[in-house]
Amino acid sequence: MPLPGELDGLSKRVSNWGRWGDDDELGCGNLLTAASARRGAESVTSGRRVSLAVDLRNKGGIQVGQPPRRINPFITPTSLNERDEAAPGIWEGTDEIVTMSTCAGTHIDALAHVSYDGLLYNGFPTSTTTASGGATKLGAEKLPKIVTRGVLLDVTRVKGVAGLDEIEQGYAITGADLDEAAESAKVTVEPGDVVLVRTGEMRHYRNRQRGRYAMGVDALMPGLSVHSVEWMHRHDVAGAFADCYAYEVFPPSLPDWSDCLAVHLLHVRDMGLIQGQNWDLEDLSVECADAGQWTFLLAAVPEPLVGAASTPVAPVAVL
C-alpha cells in the first residue's frame, strides 16, 4: 500500500532511488566524502570532546517496554575474576555476554529498518530480510562510517525553552524551524553534513522520568515531521539524528494516523537518509552556546552488526 495521497507526492519528490545506482545500499552515506571529513576536522577549534551517547544500562535504561520486547542490555559474566585452564599464571579476568535490543540506547537505523509497500530503500524487497539470515540487503554493516562536519540545530534553545514540549506536547518540527536554528547559528548547511536536531526531550530521561521520555504525555511527543523532510532533501545532508525516543513527532499529521511513522518511511525507505535517535544533545547544547560554535567534528561510527536493522553507536562531537 502506498503512502496516503499528499505524502505520496512528497515521497516522489525526495526519493533517492537509483541516484547512486540500482545496487546502492549506502543511501545518503554516499554524501560523506573526503571533503566533508576534512570540513569536519577543520571545524575543531578548542579540541573539546562531547559525548552524545547515553550509557547502556539495564537498571534505569531507556527501554520501558514499548514497543514490547525492546530490552535494555543484560550483561552476564562467563568468567568472573577467573583464569582459563589453558592459560596458567597469576592473572584473573572477567568476560561476559551482552543481550540487548540493537536500538536499546543511542543508535543508528540501518536502511533495512523500515518499509512500506513491500519495498525497502532503493527497491529491495522486504523478503531480503529473514529470521535466519537477517537483513541480507541494507543491514547495519552497510552503514557509512560517519566522520564529517556535524551541525547542531538547536531548535529548542533558539525558541528559548528547555524542550519543545513546553510549547506543545506534540510539537512538529518544520523546515522553517530548522532554518531558524541554522540562521541563528550562522551556519550554512552543506551536502554531506550531518544535522543534530534538539528537541530537549532527553532532559526527561536525564531527570529519570523514563516513562515520560519514552511515551510522552498521552503519547504526544515532539519530533521531526513530514514538514521537515524536504528540508533534509534540499540540503543533501548525509544524516539527521535526534534526542528523542520516537525520532518523529506524535501524533502523525493525518487525523486517521494512516501516515504513522511517515518521517521514518520518507527518510529511510525513500531517501536512504541515515538517521537515529536517543542521541543526548543536552551537553552539546551547552557547549555550543558557550563556545558560540554550532559546527564540529562528528564521529559516529555504527557497530558493524551483519544483518542488523539497527545498531548501537557512541557518537562524539569535537568542538
Q: Which of residues 117-146 bind a second copy (CB under 8 A)?
A: 117, 126, 129-132, 134-135, 141, 145
Q: How far is residue 205's CA from residue 89's CA, in Å, rounded to a whole number?
A: 45
Contact segment (CB under 8 A) with a second copy among 76-84, 162-170, 200-208, 221-229 equals 76-84
Nearer to a second copy, 236 or 303 (CB): 303
Residues 170, 81: Cα–Cα separation, whole Å: 49
308 binds a second copy (CB under 8 A): yes
H helix runs in 145-272, sequence order: 155-158, 175-185, 202-206, 210-215, 229-235, 262-264
Does position 291 bind a second copy by CB under 8 A?
no
Cα separation, 55 vs 208, whole angstroms: 13
Q: Does 77 bind a second copy (CB under 8 A)?
A: yes
Interaction with a second copy in 16-35: which residues (CB under 8 A)?
32-35
Among 18, 79, 218, 291, binds a second copy (CB under 8 A): 79
* Smallest separation, CB 183 to a second copy (Å): 26
Q: Which of residues 220-249 bind a second copy (CB under 8 A)?
A: none
> CB burial class (10 A; 0-12, 13-18, 19+) of residue 249?
buried
Instruction: Please tell me whether residue 87 binds a second copy under the rule CB under 8 A.
Output: yes
SS3 51: strand
- Count the site residues for a second copy by CB under 8 A: 104
**From the list 18, 21, 82, 186, which residue makes contact with a second copy (rule: CB under 8 A)?**
82
Whether the CB-CB separation of 311 and 278 falls below 8 Å is answered with no
Q: HEC string of 63-85?
A: CCCCCCCCCCCEEEEEEEEECCC
From the list 5, 22, 23, 88, which residue makes contact with a second copy (rule: CB under 8 A)? 88
Q: How far is the CB of 32 from a second copy (least distance, A)?
A: 8
- Report in angstroms how near the CB of residue 298 gets to a second copy at its nearest: 9
255 binds a second copy (CB under 8 A): no
Longest dimension (CA), the chain: 70
Q: Does 70 bind a second copy (CB under 8 A)?
A: yes
Q: Give, rounded to a whole angstrom, the gap between the first and last alpha carbons of the chain.
A: 45
Nearer CB in complex with a second copy: 110/155: 110
Asked if 148 and 37 count as a contact pair (C-beta separation under 8 A), the reply is yes
Check if the beta carbon of residue 112 is closer than 8 Å to that of residue 95: no
Nearer to a second copy among residue 21 and residue 77 (C-beta)? 77
167 sits near a second copy (criterion: CB under 8 A): no
Q: x/- contact string, 98-117, with a second copy (CB under 8 A)?
A: xxxxxx--------xxxxxx
Let me know: does 240 contact 33? Beta carbons within 8 Å.
Answer: no
Residues in the chain, overall count: 319
Contacts of a second copy in 33-62 (CB under 8 A) = 33-38, 41-42, 44, 46-49, 51, 53-59
